[in-house]
């Protein structure tokens, strides 16, 4: 048995999802007439009470399009130093948008309203780049799947409003946060100018992310998507998986979180595990002692059929997902005892 905990992106589409994909009506999305893509975009926008949506191939693309659309070259984006948009998008925000970043040291990747306020440059000072965008990540990957709640975000929104700045959300795993807090999609939609959500993470789709925002903003992002080669044709095959996932795979995320907490309890009994990040959603990050390198530990796990990723010199990450079962959880417990 192979147990793949490298990421929640490794899932295979379920038989019912495949069925939905195969029977989807298709058109040409560059011409705007793929009915399934249009249905997914309308559905997602209305879930969040936002005007429009754009279906894309990846969360990197939706984030990059959002940054490109909100900013001009030379502007500055405020985000946490552990943000995916900065660490894991290939330097895209510099390459695609020509912007600089003000990197804040948040609490496990979550920044505060006071930090944001202090990082906004005086627009009258020509030495400084113009602060043009604030970007949050929820849940926070590098912070171990911790999340912001509505009051946290409202307070940051207020600072943005005082300075006339748009607020973007990298919500690759937003639904993982929402099933924990019980907060609504609409309430989050009201606080952001743009939201990126991933369908190919916990929701179990093979491909796809959505960018949500105002009609004009999305029209501009669509233009940039084409410019970057991201226009696609019979994408309804993939959009059908997205519609299926939004209908069937949101509430079950709680199961992934429960299993992640069980993994945490197992790891807590292991002598080689020095520290475990608090487990808030589906991400488990743990620290090994100075004497054990994460690469060696991960290689040892791989030899036992357990796949994980290193998340630092002595840090290892497990992510639970749709294809990780209770049976695999039991097998993991047996295999961890070495
Ligand atoms: C996975 C992820 C993305 C998008 O990644 P893609 O692989 O490009 O879809 C964006 N932000 C966060 C926090 C992520 O975990």
Q: Which atom of ligand 1 is nearest to the CA of 140?
A: 13
User: What is the arrangement of strands in the sheet containing 209-213, beginning at the earlier edge strand?
Assistant: 52-56, 209-213, 194-198, 167-171, 131-137, 76-80, 100-104
Supply the CATH number for residue 299's domain. 3.90.1150.10
Phi-psi category of 244—alpha, beta or left, where left has phi over 0 and alpha has psi -120 to 50? Answer: alpha
84 touches ligand 1 (CB under 6 Å): yes
Listed residues 196, 219, 248: the one ending a domain: 248
**183 and 100 part of one domain:** yes
Q: How far away, in angstroms, is 212 Cα from ligand 1 center?
A: 16
Residue 280 CA to residue 294 CA, distance in Å, equals 22
The number of distinct structural domains making up the chain is 2
The pLDDT value recorded for residue 91 is: 97
Q: What is the pLDDT of residue 337?
A: 82
Check residue 162 and report its DSSP letter: H
Walk along the chain (338 residues) in steps of 10 and give the mean pLDDT of each run. 96 98 98 98 98 98 98 98 98 97 98 98 97 98 97 98 98 98 98 98 98 98 98 98 98 98 97 96 98 97 96 97 97 87
Per the structure, the complete domain to which residue 29 belongs is given by 15-248
89 Cα–ligand 1 center, Å: 8
CA of 172 to the centre of ligand 1 (A): 6
Through-space distance between the first and last CA atoms of the chain, rounded to whole angstroms: 17
pLDDT of residue 1: 82
Q: Do 30 and 107 have their domain in common? A: yes
**Is this prediction's pTM over 0.75?**
yes
30-56 burial, b at 16+ Cβ within 10 Å, e below that, comes to: eeeebebbbbbbebbbebbebebbbbb
- The residue from 186, 214, 248 where one domain ends is 248
Residue among 56, 86, 41 at smallest CA distance from 224: 56
* pLDDT of amino acid 90: 97
Residue where a domain stops, chosen among 184, 213, 248: 248
Both tokens assigned to 288 = 């090994």
Whether 202 and 305 share a structural domain:
no
Report how far ligand 1's centroid is from the alpha carbon of 62 (Å).
Answer: 9
Q: What pLDDT shows up at residue 216?
A: 98
β pairing state of 76-80 and 3-4: unpaired
**How many Cβ atoms from other residues are within 10 Å of residue 316's Cβ?**
23
What CATH number is given to the structural domain containing 128? Answer: 3.40.640.10
Q: Whose CA is nearest to atom 5 of ligand 1?
A: 59
- Non-local (6+) Cβ contacts of 114 within 8 A are none
70 with 145, same domain? Answer: yes
Both 185 and 306 in one domain: the answer is no
């Amino acid at each position: 048995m192979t147990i793949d905990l490298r990421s929640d992106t490794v899932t295979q589409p379920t038989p019912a999802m495949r069925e939905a994909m195969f029977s989807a009506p298709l058109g040409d999305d560059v011409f705007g007439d793929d009915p399934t893509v249009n249905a997914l975009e309308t559905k997602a926008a209305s879930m969040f009470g936002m005007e429009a949506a754009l279906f894309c191939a990846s969360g990197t693309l939706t984030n990059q399009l959002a940054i490109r659309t909100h900013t001009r070259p030379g502007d500055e984006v405020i985000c946490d130093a552990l943000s995916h948009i900065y660490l894991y998008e290939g330097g895209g925000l510099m390459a695609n948008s020509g912007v600089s970043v003000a990197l804040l040291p948040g609490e496990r990747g979550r920044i505060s309203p006071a930090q944001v306020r202090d990082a906004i440059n005086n627009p009258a000072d020509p030495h400084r780049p113009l602060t043009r965008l604030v970007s949050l990540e929820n849940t926070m990957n590098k912070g171990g799947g911790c999340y912001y709640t509505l009051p946290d975000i409202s307070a940051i929104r207020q600072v943005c409003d005082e300075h006339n700045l748009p607020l973007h959300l990298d919500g690759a795993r937003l639904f993982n946060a929402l099933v924990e807090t019980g907060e609504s999609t609409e309430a989050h939609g009201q606080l952001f100018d743009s939201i990126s959500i991933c369908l190919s993470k916990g929701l179990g789709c093979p491909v796809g992310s959505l960018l949500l925002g105002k009609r004009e903003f999305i029209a501009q992002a669509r233009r940039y998507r084409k410019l970057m080669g991201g226009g696609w044709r019979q994408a309804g095959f993939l959009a059908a998986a997205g519609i299926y996932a939004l209908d069937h795979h949101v509430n079950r995320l709680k199961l992934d979180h429960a299993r992640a907490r069980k993994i945490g309890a197992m790891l807590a009994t292991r002598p080689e595990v020095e520290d475990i990040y608090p487990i808030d959603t589906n991400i488990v990050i743990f620290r090994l002692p100075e004497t054990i390198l994460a690469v060696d530990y991960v290689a040892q796990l791989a030899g036992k059929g357990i796949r994980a990723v290193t998340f630092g010199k002595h840090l290892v990450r497990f992510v639970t997902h749709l294809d990780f079962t209770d049976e695999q959880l039991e097998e993991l417990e047996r295999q961890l005892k070495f």
